[in-house]
Amino acid sequence: MKILVQKFGGTSVENAEKMRRAAKRAIEAAKKGFGVVIVASARGQQTDVLVADAYELNPNPPKREMDQLLSTGEIQSVSLLAMALDSMGYKAISFTGAQIRMLTDSVHTKARIKSIDAERIHKQLNEGKIVVVAGFQGIDENENITTLGRGGSDTTAVALAAALGAKECEIYTDVDGVYTSDPRIFKKAVKLDQISYDEMLEMASLGAGVMHPRAVEFGKKYDVTIHVRSSSEQVDGTLIIHEVPQMEGLLVSGATIQKDLAKIGLLGIENVPGNAAKVFAHLAKHKVVVNDIIQTEVNPDKANLSFMINVSDLESAKQAIEEIKNEVNFENIFIREDIAEVSVVGVGMRTHYGVAEKMFGALADAKVNIDSITTSEIRISCAVDKDQAEKALEAVCMAFELDRPAKLRNKNS
Ligand code: ADP
Ligand code: ASP
Ligand code: MG
């Protein structure tokens, strides 16, 4: 039996009407002969509501309890969807992450999937049922409920597709595909027909919230085509695949903005072997994900070390640094939360020059000051003041003509 995994995000299951629409999509696929597995997110803003409930009672909620609480949002969705399917005359069964042994590590609130027991799902599919699985949640080896990080239902879906041997995973959402930039912020963004896993992974990691980065990693690793599409309109969306034929001379495929960042700087840190290793080992011990590390030598004895983290990790990072401060001997620490990052992404950068110049020029023309710059083979990121970030994104998008379909752009855009 050919298997299709269909994932419905929060807005796509937010009320009874949308649930019925999602159920109809699954039935259409079942009628075509697919074994259908639905993965659902919590309804509407339910996860945000639960987070707010937690913080009302405790400013520092234990992460295990947070996961236990947040997992309930998805469980509501899947049982309701199974009821909707039943009312439409289709046999369906819903499962929590634990029930299909979605085994993860024990890093609460950002766990990583280790294995999935596909047997229970196969058995139900073979009995002719549509299987509805709760996204975003798993279970660790001690039976504690874990969650995969905000937006993690995408990862449940693609990981399930891989485990079940499905060739494609459909991601139904409130946009009709992946755009050159977030269409809610850059209104003139255009939809991409296709994007490579590498570019999508980079964009997702840099703030394109339309896909969870780990989902793209799974897709690439296990060869699952990801189809991002609209849950309300019957139109083709964007395919995330291995190789997209490159338009000659096209440098940049998309631009992103990340606002939930904080920057930490350790000034005048002792310039001796092992200090950076100590700082980052300690941050890792506290499960803090670090990006954009910059170290510069001030004089032979002192260096400045700065890095970016997600603002949700700020408390853990502060604690890690407090514990290590007497060992690494820095003179001053600064923490900025008023910072954002604007990035451009494109595999074309591997072989072409001029991207940096164009990006910095666009920001200069828009009178946006660049705080720091980081690059990889296929991206350039500039940290800017948060209140200038949207203006910066717009300027960069216009400079690279991300308001126009690729074939209409000037060469070297
Ligand atoms: P869901 O609840 O369905 O998972 P999300 O809110 O997680 O939906 O993701 C969809 C949103 O992602 C869109 O509404 C859009 O604002 C945002 N987004 C950010 N970057 C992009 C992009 N490059 N292309 C499309 N959407 C994007
Ligand atoms: N409900 C979770 C969230 O809001 C997971 C998801 O939607 O993918 O982050
Ligand atoms: Mg999402």
What gap in Å lies between CA 302 and CA 130, rounded to an integer?
Answer: 62
Instruction: Give yes or no: residues 163 and 294 share one domain.
Output: no
pLDDT tens digits, one per residue of 107-165: 999 999 999 999 999 999 999 999 999 999 999 999 999 999 999 999 999 999 999 99
pLDDT at 190 over 80: yes
pLDDT tens digits, one per residue of 279-294: 999 999 999 999 999 9
Domain assignment present for 189:
no
Instruction: Give yes or no: residues 314 and 166 share one domain.
Output: no
Ligand nearest to the CA of 134: 2
Domain assignment present for 242:
no
Report the mean per-residue pLDDT for the chain: 95
Residue that terminates a domain, selected from 128, 145, 174: 174
Atom of ligand 2 nearest to the CA of 151: 8
Instruction: Give yes or no: residues 276 and 400 share one domain.
Output: yes
pLDDT at 187 over 90: yes
Ligand nearest to the CA of 155: 2
Q: What percent of the chain has pLDDT over 90?
A: 92
Domain assignment present for 196:
no
Instruction: Give yes or no: residues 65 and 155 share one domain.
Output: yes
Asked if residues 338 and 254 have their Cβ atoms less than 8 Å apart, the reply is no
CB atoms under 10 Å from CB of 124, counted, come to 20
What gap in Å lies between CA 15 and CA 374, rounded to an integer?
Answer: 42
Residue that terminates a domain, selected from 146, 174, 202: 174
Instruction: Give yes or no: residues 282 and 401 share one domain.
Output: yes
Atom of ligand 1 nearest to the CA of 8: 3
Q: Give distance in angstroms: CA of 154 to centre of ligand 3.
A: 6
CATH code assigned at 155:
3.40.1160.10
Average pLDDT over residues 188-199: 95
Domain assignment present for 354:
yes
Q: Give distance in angstroms: CA of 69 to centre of ligand 2.
A: 13
Asked if residues 247 and 404 have their Cβ atoms less than 8 Å apart, the reply is no
The boundaries of the domain holding residue 403 are: 255-408
Coil vs helix vs strand at 180: coil
DSSP calls for 315-344: HHHHHHHHHHHHHH--SEEEEE-SEEEEEE
Pocket of ligand 1 (CB under 6 A): 9-12, 41, 151, 173-175, 178-179, 181-184, 208-210, 254
pLDDT at 351 over 60: yes
Our measurement of the distance from residue 151's CA atom to the centroid of its chain's CA atoms, rounded to an integer in Å, reads 6
Cβ neighbors of 234 (< 8 A, separation 6 or more) are: none
pTM of the model: 0.95
Residue nearest ligand 1's atom 4 by CA? 9
Instruction: Give yes or no: residues 20 and 166 share one domain.
Output: yes
Number of domains in the chain: 2
pLDDT at 352 over 90: no
Give Cα separations from 323 to 145, 289, 320 (angstroms). Answer: 29, 17, 5
Domain assignment present for 230:
no
Torsion sign, CA atoms 77, 9, 91, 93: negative
Residue nearest ligand 2's atom 5 by CA? 151
Cβ neighbors of 336 (< 8 A, separation 6 or more) are: 262, 263, 265
Residue that terminates a domain, selected from 131, 157, 174: 174
Asked if residues 89 and 27 have their Cβ atoms less than 8 Å apart, the reply is no
Among left, alpha and beta (phi > 0; psi -120 to 50; other), residue 139 is beta
Q: Give distance in angstroms: CA of 61 to centre of ligand 3.
A: 23
Instruction: Give yes or no: residues 151 and 270 share one domain.
Output: no
H or E segment at 6?
strand 3-8
By C-alpha distance, which of 370, 340, 356 is closest to 400?
A: 356
Domain assignment present for 28:
yes
Our measurement of the distance from residue 281's CA atom to the centroid of its chain's CA atoms, rounded to an integer in Å, reads 24
Q: Give distance in angstroms: CA of 171 to centre of ligand 3.
A: 9
pLDDT at 32 over 90: yes
Ligand nearest to the CA of 149: 2
Atom of ligand 2 nearest to the CA of 74: 1
What gap in Å lies between CA 199 and CA 216, rounded to an integer?
Answer: 10
pLDDT at 53 over 90: yes
Q: What percent of the chain has pLDDT over 70?
A: 99
Neighbours of ion ligand 3 (CB under 5 A): 9, 151
H or E segment at 214?
helix 213-222
Instruction: Give yes or no: residues 19 and 141 share one domain.
Output: yes
H or E segment at 7?
strand 3-8
Query: In this predicted structure, what is the pLDDT of residue 248?
Result: 64
CATH code assigned at 288:
3.30.2130.10
By C-alpha distance, which of 29, 10, 237 is closest to 136?
A: 10
Pocket of ligand 2 (CB under 6 A): 9-10, 41-42, 47, 73, 135-136, 150-153
Instruction: Give yes or no: residues 28 and 165 share one domain.
Output: yes
Domain assignment present for 345:
yes
pLDDT tens digits, one per residue of 311-321: 999 999 999 99
Instruction: Give yes or no: residues 132 and 267 share one domain.
Output: no
Instruction: Give yes or no: residues 276 and 166 share one domain.
Output: no
Domain assignment present for 117:
yes
Amino acid at 251: L
Average pLDDT over residues 70-94: 98
Instruction: Give yes or no: residues 161 and 269 share one domain.
Output: no
Query: In this predicted structure, what is the pLDDT of residue 142?
Result: 98
Confidence of residue 350 (pLDDT cuts 50, 70, 90): confident
What gap in Å lies between CA 204 and CA 110, rounded to an integer?
Answer: 16
